[in-house]
């Protein structure tokens, strides 16, 4: 492929997505990054992930409460294992959501670099 063909494809893609560099110029806040995962094509998976995380959090709190009030050893072991497993599930879901936020941040940075390359190429002409 020729260099001009690749440059033209980049410019076409940038023109379709967002031609304004100011969209990408500022660093986004954490709240914006969190809300961004609900705007992508996998918004429904991320929404389900939040609901499941909240449900597991309720289970975790309930298990801790039941463990604290347990009187027999077998009951304590059962509730403590439920507490540990639910806390691990919450941790894994949170790691997954942070990876999703990082993915969208990386895509934003790649678009910024593509736009800057296209602008530099236009300045040289």
Residue 124: the pLDDT is 72
Q: Would you call 29 exposed, middle or buried from its count of C-beta atoms within 10 A (0-12, 13-18, 19+)?
A: exposed
Q: Can you give the C-alpha Rg of the chain in angstroms?
A: 23
DSSP line for 37-91: TTTSTTHHHHHHHHHHHHHHHHHHHHHHHHHHH--SHHHHHHHHHHHHHHHHHHH
Centroid of chain to Cα 5: 33
Q: Where are the domains of the chain?
A: 3-124
Tens of each residue's pLDDT in the chain, 125 residues: 566 776 677 677 666 655 455 555 556 777 888 888 888 788 899 999 999 999 999 999 999 999 999 999 999 999 999 999 999 999 999 999 999 889 988 988 898 888 888 888 877 76
* Residue 35 token pair: 């809300």
What are the phi and psi torsion angles at 28 (to 5°)?
Answer: -85, 150
26 in helix, strand or coil?
Answer: coil
* Residue 99 token pair: 């990876």
């Amino acid at each position: 492929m020729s260099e001009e063909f690749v440059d033209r494809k980049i410019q076409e893609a940038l023109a379709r997505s967002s031609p304004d560099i100011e969209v990408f110029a500022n660093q986004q806040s954490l709240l914006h990054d969190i809300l961004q995962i609900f705007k992508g094509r996998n918004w429904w998976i991320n929404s389900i992930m939040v609901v499941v995380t909240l449900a597991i959090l309720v289970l975790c709190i309930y298990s801790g409460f039941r463990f604290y009030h347990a009187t027999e050893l077998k009951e304590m072991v059962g509730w403590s294992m439920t507490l540990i497993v639910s806390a691990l599930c919450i941790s894994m879901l949170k790691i997954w959501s942070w990876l999703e936020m990082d993915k969208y941040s990386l895509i934003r940075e790649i678009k910024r670099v593509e736009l800057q390359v296209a602008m530099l190429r236009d300045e040289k002409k």
